[in-house]
Amino acid sequence: MSFSETEIADFYNTQAPHGRLTVDGKFVDKNLRFWYQEFMLMTKDQPIFFDLGCGDGRETRLYREVFGNLDHYYGLDLSSGMLRFTQSQTSEVKLIRGSFSHLPFAGESLPSVWAAASYLHLDRDQIESALTELHRCLMPAPAASSA
């Protein structure tokens, strides 16, 4: 089954008011939490940390828990509702509305990216172009993770 970006955004916009991707605002997937913390520590010296598909901000809260602030954290999501929800929970976070098919970043500008449960929303025929777009934005020898 294939969904358009509009359909995906509409679905997540309906979920956003409830913060349904976490339980009581907590990061509940222990395995993913472990890998996320490892990735954050691996990229701690990077000037910017990008979370592609930040959703309801579960990684945003974990990033602040680990580093004590959100100075280097940026989140991107297709759903304006999810971005509003995340902003309401964590007002100092820097958020961008955008699509994997047209990332709003200059070429070779991203030192590291995290994309958990994000690219799975793409159809097979969209994956290659989305990864090509990501490659365009990544700096040489980046740290990148997608789960």
Q: Could you tell me the CATH superfamily of domain 5-15+28-146?
A: Vaccinia Virus protein VP39 (3.40.50.150)
What does the pLDDT read at residue 124? Answer: 86
Lowest mean pLDDT: which of 23-27, 50-54, 79-83?
A: 23-27
- Nearest 5°: CA angle at 125, between 123 and 126? 65
Alpha carbon dihedral 66, 116, 17, 20, in 10-degree steps, equals -90
**Residue ranges per structural domain of the chain:** 5-15+28-146
More confident residue, 86 or 142: 86
More confident residue, 92 or 14: 92
More confident residue, 124 or 98: 98
pTM above threshold 0.95? no
Residue 98 has pLDDT above 90, yes or no: yes
Lowest mean pLDDT: which of 11-15, 38-42, 51-55, 81-85?
A: 11-15
DSSP 10-68: HHHHHHGGGTTTSBTTB---HHHHHHHHHHHHHTTTSS-EEEET-TTSHHHHHHHHHHS
What the block records as the tokens of 75 is 């989140």
What does the pLDDT read at residue 23? Answer: 46
